Amino acid sequence: MKAIQKNSGWIIILLLSFFPAFLWWQAPSFAPRFGDFTGAMTSIGQLLGLIGAVMFALNLILSARFHFLEKYFGGLDGVYAKHNVLGQVAFIFLLFHPLFLLARYSAGSFAGAASFLSIGSYWPRNLGTLSLALMLVLIVLTLYLRPKYNIWKWTHKFLGFAFFMASMHVWLIPSDVSRYMPLRWYVLGISVIGLLAFAYRTLFGWLLVKKFKYTVLGVRALSDSITEITMRPVSERMIFTPGQFIFVSFSGKTIGGESHPFSITSGPDDQNISIIAKSLGDYTAKLSALLPGTPAKIEGPFGNFSYKNAKNKDQIWIAGGIGVTPFISMAKSLKIEDGYNIDLYYCVKNESEAVYLDLLKNISASLNGKFKVRQSVTGSRGDGNRHRPADNIRREDVVLDRKARHAFEHG
């Protein structure tokens, strides 16, 4: 039962993706589906196209940051992980869709295959060809050329246009979709929902997506490469659970207006919101130059990574480097009367990275031993080297049951 609940998101995606195959099988056919080689290849190609198109639509839904999806995938980071995998599978299915159809429509010749795959006078087919070509360009750009974040985000918007052309192709081309109404309405319904999700997030997000208005209150350098930014609400204050993260965009002259994700480091009872960023690229390097009064828009909160969602109150937290950020918010929210008993292993490469060590020690002292901080400097010789290096600690490894302590300390 736990395994089903944990993988409920995948189960729903697979059921929705492969249901059109069931409807396709129920559709009346003029010839046996797999009666000969040509029929079998054509049938496989049709199935790949149907399933790939539905997966494409579902992928647009996953990318829209709907809060209700988080409970099925373990937070927004889980949603995006499935979005990445599903997008690649959908692309493979759609890529092989026309290749399997070549057995019927190429007339057994190279010239026929080239004619089938090229742009001609028949626009229902052209829409499918153009959609696949645009997807291929965008996938290569994303996976291999790896442009800067703002360029990648801008080009990613064209995936919605690619899906629109693919939907029109499915809707207009003579096929089982056009002849069998249950299949037609199912594919149409999923396609419309996918396009609406794309429009909500990408085309009209500036109008429809709720964002909290804040202004930069202060910018503080915690080290040579780490900056803390504190923002105060203009009107409505955002409510969040410690451990969650937000998407922030600034309107300053020194920085672009695109939004980036940051973990919240302020406590849930604080009036202001604070984040910290390490200078790892062009965008984060500019954050230290933000000026007080700079407008900021915050979307969120997202994620269910919080000690409050763990089953047991005896816990071990493991933070690696800048990955300590969600634990700062969680530590600030701890109260003795809540009954938690927590050990935090704060792993850094060198002492200068432990920017919040003093704060964490002060919190530890105020909680009378219910919150212990154990620092591990992995870049130096000594006992700290027996712990895992900070860069290899994944976020999902972080909140552990206290029963794992012995294995962690002696493994």
CATH of the domain at 250: 2.40.30.10
pLDDT attached to residue 411 = 34
pLDDT attached to residue 400 = 43
Same domain as 29, residue 12: yes
232 has pLDDT over 80:
yes
- Higher confidence at residue 409 or residue 280? 280
**Low-confidence winner among 185-199, 287-301, 352-366, 396-410 (lowest mean pLDDT):** 396-410
Domain count, the chain: 3
Same domain as 171, residue 48: yes
* String of DSSP letters for 161-218: HHHHHHHHHHHHSSSHHHH-HHHHHHHHHHHHHHHHHHIIIIISHHHHS--EEEEEEE
- Which residue range(s) make up the domain with 344? 311-410
Q: Which two tokens stand for residue 120?
A: 């001609």
Same domain as 190, residue 172: yes
Same domain as 323, residue 356: yes
Same domain as 107, residue 10: yes
pLDDT band at residue 151, thresholds of 50, 70 and 90? confident
Same domain as 244, residue 120: no
pLDDT band at residue 216, thresholds of 50, 70 and 90? very high
Average pLDDT score over residue span 170-195 = 95
**Residue 245 φ then ψ, to 5°:** -130, 170
pLDDT attached to residue 133 = 94
Bridge partners of 90? none
How far, CA to CA in Å, does 332 sit from each of 223, 241, 348?
Answer: 21, 12, 20
**Residue 345 φ then ψ, to 5°:** -100, 110
Final residue in a domain of this structure, among 302, 323, 354: 302
The proportion of the chain whose per-residue pLDDT surpasses 90, expressed as a percent, equals: 67
Q: What CA–CA distance (Å, rounded) separates 173 from 202?
A: 28
pLDDT attached to residue 6 = 61
- Higher confidence at residue 131 or residue 254? 131
**403 secondary structure, DSSP code:** G
296 touches 251 (CB < 8 A): yes
Same domain as 101, residue 64: yes
Average pLDDT score over residue span 68-95 = 92
Same domain as 137, residue 266: no
Final residue in a domain of this structure, among 150, 179, 207: 207
31 has pLDDT over 90:
no
**Low-confidence winner among 86-95, 118-127, 349-358 (lowest mean pLDDT):** 349-358
Same domain as 77, residue 141: yes
399 has pLDDT over 50:
no
CATH of the domain at 338: 3.40.50.80
238 has pLDDT over 90:
yes
Average pLDDT score over residue span 12-31 = 94
167 has pLDDT over 50:
yes
**Low-confidence winner among 137-151, 218-232, 310-324, 352-366 (lowest mean pLDDT):** 137-151
Same domain as 358, residue 340: yes
- Closest by alpha carbon to 276, among 319, 225, 203? 225
Q: What CA–CA distance (Å, rounded) separates 257 from 150?
A: 9
User: Widest CA span of the chain, in angstroms?
Assistant: 81
404 has pLDDT over 80:
no
Final residue in a domain of this structure, among 302, 333, 361: 302
How far, CA to CA in Å, does 358 sit from each of 235, 362, 364, 399?
Answer: 32, 6, 10, 22
Mean pLDDT over all residues of the chain? 88
pLDDT attached to residue 157 = 85
- Non-local (6+) Cβ contacts of 126 within 8 A are 119, 120
392 has pLDDT over 80:
no
Q: Which two tokens stand for residue 48?
A: 């790949």
384 has pLDDT over 50:
no
192 has pLDDT over 90:
yes
Burial class (CB in 10 A: 0-12, 13-18, 19+), 161: middle
Alpha helices for 229-378 (secondary structure H): 282-286, 325-333, 357-366
Same domain as 392, residue 243: no
pLDDT attached to residue 268 = 94
Same domain as 272, residue 247: yes
**Low-confidence winner among 61-70, 167-176, 179-188, 276-285 (lowest mean pLDDT):** 276-285
**Low-confidence winner among 157-166, 184-193, 359-368, 389-398 (lowest mean pLDDT):** 389-398
Average pLDDT score over residue span 3-31 = 87
CATH of the domain at 202: 1.20.120
